[in-house]
Amino acid sequence: MSDFLPQSVREGLEAARRDAERRKSRLRVRDGDESYPVLRFWSKGFALAAEPAPNLRGLVDLFEGERHLYQCLIVTSREEAGERIFEFKRNTAAADSAPLDFARAKDAPVGLIESR
């Protein structure tokens, strides 16, 4: 079917598809104060729209809504079909608390109440 459509109509349809993907995606990559919507995400990287996204490099944070998912060390891999593809050098899951460096017993007290 796309063979019968004029080039301008095909480009318009592709732009509308990219805009719809950008709006429905809750994933965002944050670099300092700047934030960019993620079009696609996979285990080894993610894709942003080529136009608004700068050539990011280094440490960025990946969010789903307001929830911090990952802290990522990235490099720009390539640009294709209106998307800028980024690959992870390191991808670390974000945690709400500091990791424990010792084993905690299941029945351990939460706190200590002193008697006077």
Could you report the per-residue pLDDT of 81-97, keeping only the tens digit for each? 888 999 999 998 888 77
- Mean pLDDT to the nearest integer, 13-38: 79
- Whether 74 and 60 have beta carbons less than 8 Å apart is answered as yes
User: For domain 2-93, which architecture applies?
Assistant: Beta Barrel (2.40)
Amino acid 44 reads K
Domain positions in the chain: 2-93
pTM of the model: 0.63
Q: Is 74 helix (H, G, I), strand (E, B) or coil?
A: strand
Task: Give the mean pLDDT of the chain.
Answer: 83
- Mean pLDDT to the nearest integer, 64-69: 89
For the record, the structure tokens of 10 come out as 């095909």
The predicted-structure confidence for 94-113, as pLDDT tens digits, reads as follows 887 777 778 888 888 878 78
